[in-house]
Amino acid sequence: MVVKMNTVNLVIETDGKGISSYELTEFLRYFRATYVAGVKLSESAKGSALSEDQFIRLVNRIKLTQPVDVVDYLFKIDCENDELEFLDIQRKNPVSIKLSGSRVAILLAAVFSGAVITSNSVEVKVDELSFLSVVEMGGLEVKITSFSEGHNRLSNSFGGRLVDRKKIDGL
């Protein structure tokens, strides 16, 4: 399945609060890992709907075959022509990021972060991640209603692995 590179506007609600550099980095790490899995799954789906089960099977297959953290493994994959790019970032409230890449993969990452998808100001219902028809629609905007909830949902997609943070006086 060939998916044209398209842009999607990602809007993340922050409740007017600052965003920890650590949490932002972790959110983007999980988002990119989910995006890369979406690119891989859309290649194998050949036009059929993507499912949460497919995503979980892919993550479990990587866990079994790679002696590394799945998120780090996916994060480092070169997506070649489907690379996720940040075209514009605006930090007011909410954060607005214009993304370019595979729409299917962007939408998969967005759905796993608990996003609401709108097209031309009309909310698009997403059922079981079967959103391939949404891919063809113009003016897509993805809204994550809470940064912390989006981060937690993405983390949970990979089994909720919490990273042990070191104390600064432990250096």
Q: Which two tokens stand for residue 128?
A: 């079981």
Nearest to 140 by CA among 168, 111, 114, 119: 119
Q: Are 85 and 99 in contact (CB under 8 A)?
A: yes
In the chain the first and final C-alpha atoms are separated, in Å, by 49
Tell me the per-residue pLDDT of 104-156, one tens digit each, with 9 for 90 and over.
888 888 888 888 877 766 666 665 455 555 556 667 788 888 898 999 888 88
Nearest to 30 by CA among 161, 165, 166: 161
3-state secondary structure of 86: strand
| Cis before 67? omega within 30 | no
Orientation of helix 147-157 relative to helix 21-45, angle to 10°: 50
pTM of the model: 0.82
Tell me the per-residue pLDDT of 81-118, one tens digit each, with 9 for 90 and over.
899 999 999 988 889 999 999 888 888 888 888 888 77
